[in-house]
Amino acid sequence: MLFQWDLGRHSIEQVEKTFLGPRKLDQETARFAQELFEGTVRESATLDDQVRRQSQHWRLERMAAVDRNIIRLALYELLHIRENSPAVVINEALELARRFSTADSVEFVNGVLEGVRKAAAAAQS
């Protein structure tokens, strides 16, 4: 959904309708997907600032769209859904990168997410 929103610049409602509508998801899965998608879109400017701070020499616009959106999604989950372990969130993001992007992307995604995780942990200390 994030990829579709990012590249197509469709409304949240339109993306959810075309993405979730034809799928037969149980209510809990659909609700969680919507929460992640809507929250990530709502917080995208703040999340993008975090990405920019951690990805030296990379402009957000030059990143592969898949990588950019995997990072946004994981950052939203890391920063806003506290019940999920940071290690699990990062691992899931790396699995998405392995499946939908390139081998080099896994290292890049991991570096950005670990950088944000460490900065957030240091700020809480």
- Taking the CA atoms of residue 97, residue 88, residue 43 and residue 10 in that order, the dihedral angle to the nearest 10 degrees is 40
Q: What share of the chain is helix, strand, coil (3-state, %, to 5)?
A: 80, 0, 20
CB neighbour list of residue 80: distance below 8 Å, 6 or more residues apart: 39, 43
> Over the chain, what is the mean pLDDT?
90
User: Cα 24 to chain center, whole Å?
Assistant: 23
CATH 1.10.940.10 for domain 2-124: yes
Task: Write down the pLDDT at residue 1.
Answer: 93
CB 51 within 8 A of CB 60: yes
Q: Which token pair is 112?
A: 């950005």
Q: Which residue has the higher pLDDT, 56 or 10?
A: 10
Residue 59 pLDDT exceeds 80: yes
Q: Percent of the chain scored above 70 by pLDDT?
A: 99
Mean pLDDT to the nearest integer, 109-119 = 89
Q: Where do we find the tokens 């999604």?
A: 73
Distance (Å, whole) CA 26 – CA 20: 11
Domain boundaries, the chain: 2-124
Task: Write down the pLDDT at residue 93.
Answer: 96
Model-wide pTM > 0.85: yes
Q: How confident is the model at residue 67 (pLDDT cuts 50, 70, 90)?
A: very high
Residue 27 pLDDT exceeds 80: yes
